[in-house]
């Protein structure tokens, strides 16, 4: 049976294996010990030529070190710029900088031309400052000349403005206006010759065109009940109250009792309307002869069984409004389902 030859990772020594026979692994262990003995002997030989960890050397024992240190400057030694081989500082003055000229650094005054890109830098800084001053001003007001023109080139603009404001009609405080100024103010706001309110008397007449609109207090307007009863003789009637009174008090009104008409009951406002559809469409929209004031409560159709109409018909209504409704005309034949019809029919509607 072949042996399994396992070995150590670093020095490749043979290792025993559980599946090997004992005589085979004994031989392999003997080989491993022999290799280990040789490696240990080599290490010991190398260690014999090494110095102890606590060993020290004098400077003189280090080859060339003392000679090298003798050629070095002292720790406190310093150099002047003139000692450098690539500088020439003769004639240097305060405020000058070193500038490279050829192979030497020489004292020189700094010029704008010595700064690369200075034009763009300065231009950008100026533009930024101008933008900060201008802010979001429009293009027509971003220069001093344009601002001066906008102020009318008036060096006393603040005084002029204050004077103008002082001549305006105030709403936040009292003003001592002359009679002429008061007349002018009333004319400017459209009051014309109308005097102040507390100067009106019972005999004062307000001419046409002097008063165009007045909002009355609620207590000054008759209620609907007062309008219908004809009471409250000291109150006014608005257009709304007048309409309500007419609708409530008008006698029964109706169109001629023909194919289309309407009737209003004066006591409670019920309106009955009627008419006849002459045919032509299966879902016609019926327009009422007069509009209901509030709502249409119902609309009804009666089939017109004229000549040639062999089957019973029905009329259904929908989409009721105060001005119209939609009628759907259907026929039913024996054993068949409903079908559309365009036949004439009569209708009537109820509402208020």
Residues 300-316 have pLDDT tens digits of: 998 876 544 445 578 99
Mean pLDDT across the stretch 49-72? 82
| Same domain for 343 and 285 | yes
**Radius of gyration (C-alpha) of the chain in whole angstroms:** 60
Distance of alpha carbon 248 from alpha carbon 266, whole angstroms: 6
CA distance 32 to 5: 12
Report CA-CA distances (Å) from 49 to 44, 52, 58, 192, 299: 9, 10, 20, 129, 129
Mean residue pLDDT of the chain comes to 81
Whether 213 and 288 map to the same domain: the answer is: no
**pTM score of the predicted model:** 0.32
Question: Is residue 105, in this structure, part of any structural domain at all?
Answer: no
What separation in angstroms does the CA of 2 have from each of 21, 31, 99, 342?
Answer: 9, 18, 85, 111
| pLDDT per residue as tens digits for the range 19-52 | 899 888 899 999 999 999 999 999 999 888 887 8
| Cα angle for residues 101, 103, 105 (degrees, 5° grid) | 55
The answer to whether position 235 is within a domain reads yes
Distance between CA atoms of 51 and 171, rounded to whole angstroms? 109
Looking at the DSSP assignment, which residues form a beta bridge with residue 106? 99
Same structural domain, 214 and 283 = no
Query: Quick one: average pLDDT of 199-220?
Result: 60
User: What CATH number is associated with residue 306?
Assistant: 2.60.40.3940
The pLDDT assigned to 337 comes to 65
Given this model, what pLDDT does residue 250 score? 56
- The answer as to whether 137 is a domain residue is no
> Is position 158 within any domain?
no
Among all chains, which residue has been given the structure tokens 């559809």? 277
- Quick one: 277 and 222 in the same domain? no
**Do 224 and 267 fall within a single domain?**
no
Task: State phi, psi for 247 to the nearest 5 degrees.
Answer: -65, -35
- What pLDDT does residue 255 have? 47
Q: State which residues form the domain around 277.
A: 261-351
Residues 235 and 307 in one domain: no
Q: Say whether pLDDT at 208 is over 70.
A: no
Please report the pLDDT score of residue 249 as a whole number. Answer: 60
Give the chain's domain count. Answer: 3
């Amino acid at each position: 049976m072949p042996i399994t030859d396992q070995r150590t990772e670093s020095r490749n020594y043979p290792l025993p294996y559980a599946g090997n026979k004992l005589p085979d692994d004994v031989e392999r262990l003997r080989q491993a010990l022999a290799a280990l003995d040789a490696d240990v002997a080599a290490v010991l030989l190398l260690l014999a030529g090494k110095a102890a960890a606590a060993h020290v050397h004098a400077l003189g024992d280090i080859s060339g070190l003392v000679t090298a240190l003798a050629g070095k400057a002292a720790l406190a030694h310093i150099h002047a710029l003139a000692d450098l081989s690539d500088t020439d500082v003769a004639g240097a003055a305060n405020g000058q900088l070193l500038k490279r000229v050829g192979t030497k650094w020489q004292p020189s005054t700094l010029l704008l031309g010595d700064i690369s890109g200075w034009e763009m830098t300065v231009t950008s800084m100026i533009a930024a400052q101008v933008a900060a001053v201008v802010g979001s001003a429009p293009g027509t007001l971003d220069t001093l000349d344009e601002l001066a023109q906008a102020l009318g080139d008036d060096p006393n603009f603040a005084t002029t403005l204050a004077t103008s404001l002082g001549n305006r009609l105030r709403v936040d405080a009292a003003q001592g206006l002359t009679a002429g100024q008061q007349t002018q103010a009333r004319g400017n706001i459209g009051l014309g010759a109308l005097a102040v309110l507390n100067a009106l008397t019972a005999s004062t007449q307000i001419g046409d065109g002097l008063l165009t609109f007045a909002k009355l207090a609620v207590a000054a307007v008759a209620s609907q009940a007062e309008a219908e009863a004809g009471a409250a003789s000291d109150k006014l009637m608005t257009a709304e109250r007048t309409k309500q009174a007419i609708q409530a008090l008008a006698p029964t009104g109706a169109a001629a009792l023909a194919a289309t008409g309407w009737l209003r009951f004066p006591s409670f406002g019920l309106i009955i309307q009627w008419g006849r559809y002459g045919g032509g469409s299966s879902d016609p929209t019926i327009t009422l002869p007069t509009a209901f004031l509030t709502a249409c409560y119902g609309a009804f159709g009666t089939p017109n069984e004229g000549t040639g109409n062999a089957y019973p018909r029905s009329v259904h209504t929908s989409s009721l409004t105060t001005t119209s409704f939609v009628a759907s005309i259907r026929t039913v034949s024996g054993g068949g389902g409903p079908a559309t019809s365009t036949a004439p029919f009569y209708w009537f509607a109820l509402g208020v």
